[in-house]
Structure 1
Amino acid sequence: MGWMQHVQPLARLVIAARCPLCDRPASKILCIDCDRQLQRDRLSNPLHRESVPIVAWGQYGGTLRQAIAAMKYNHQPELARLLGIQLAQTWERSPLARRYPNPVVLPVPMHPQKQAERGFNQAELIAKSFCQYTRLSLQASGVQRTRNTEPLFNLSPTAREAMLDNAFCLGSDFQRRPPKLVLLVDDIYTTGATLRAIHHLLRQHHIALCGLAVSARAIAPSQHHNE
């Protein structure tokens, strides 16, 4: 019976190795089919040079959208590791990584109430995986969210900006030791309102923002100028 006590837990681990998107057996985080479909959402040109450059791994849609939704709403935080590694590889190939080799990585903060409800901040989990791969410094408490805002995508441009007015403050990490250069990390780039709000806060404290790295870009940055 002694050897069975060791075999049974191993058997359970093998059985538990299922794809979080389709529930089929998977030797890695995703099964072969879902991973193949995910790669179709990858952007051929991940860098967009705006006032703050944006590096995005993929276009928000298809399997990438399904993966992000599963991570956030079906409690599949292990997907953040995959998204973080993919984003790190994209970042390291971008010209921004050569121009800015040692930024401090800041995940977009989540309001404490919302984070308690979800159990994690997906941007922070992606950033942790990103930093493990790139060996960049992570400061998850650099900026704090002080207002529990509603989703922005249904709001007008004016309402978005008003919703995020004074929604962030400098956190303990940056108060104690402000970095010279920051790279912001998030799961999705949508309206750009969050990016602008955090960029404004950092500028007030003389902290430079070299870019935003995201797993998915919902719209091309050139489409949001009037948002």
Structure 2
Amino acid sequence: MKDTLKHRGMRNKLAEVLVDKGITSPQVLSAIKTIPRHLFMDSSFEGHAYQDKAFPIAADQTISQPYTVAFQTQLLGVRAGHKILEIGTGSGYQTAVLLHLKAKVYTIERQQELFKKTKLLFGKMGYRPKKTIFGDGYKGLPEDAPFDSIIVTAGAPEVPKALMSQLKIGGRLVIPVGIDDQIMTLYIRKSEKEFEMHQYGSFRFVPLLENKN
């Protein structure tokens, strides 16, 4: 598949939809307008790539709804050079958005089929995360901690303590918490032991599974 002027036009329209839904970050909207989402999906879904919907990908997973990607990214408050841990590489689309914002991205995927497919895609498209890892996202990446931000792209029944401990002071963790429906939750680390919590309504994600590689 190629990226065409038609695709770019559809991305611009998608960005307008996201503005209407409350996305205000110019940097996030620029990423949505720039990144060819259709290349992260199977060719049979190409016509649906710029609708504001989630779609199935390999290993019974999904590529998140563009609004969800934009909303989580906006909550992270990404700045150039930020060191970000992503739990759930998935299709790689969210990773590409973070890289567009000039973050240093460390990303973990527990599904081997997806891990191999997405790592290959990154190489073909010229995306270069600092690390792309096959592993258990519940454990985070202690050897590379602390992180400016951590983003979790699967629904967690509870917040993994390992991830909380790997945030810098002042760092932000964005995670959907819950079993069936999840509440999008932002934690800001205020000190070694103190976290500030904000909640932002209901979302639906595939589950974050522990020790299930």
Q: Could you tell me the TM-score, scaled by structure 1's length?
A: 0.38
Higher strand share: 2
Higher helix share: 1
Q: Could you tell me the TM-score, scaled by structure 2's length?
A: 0.39
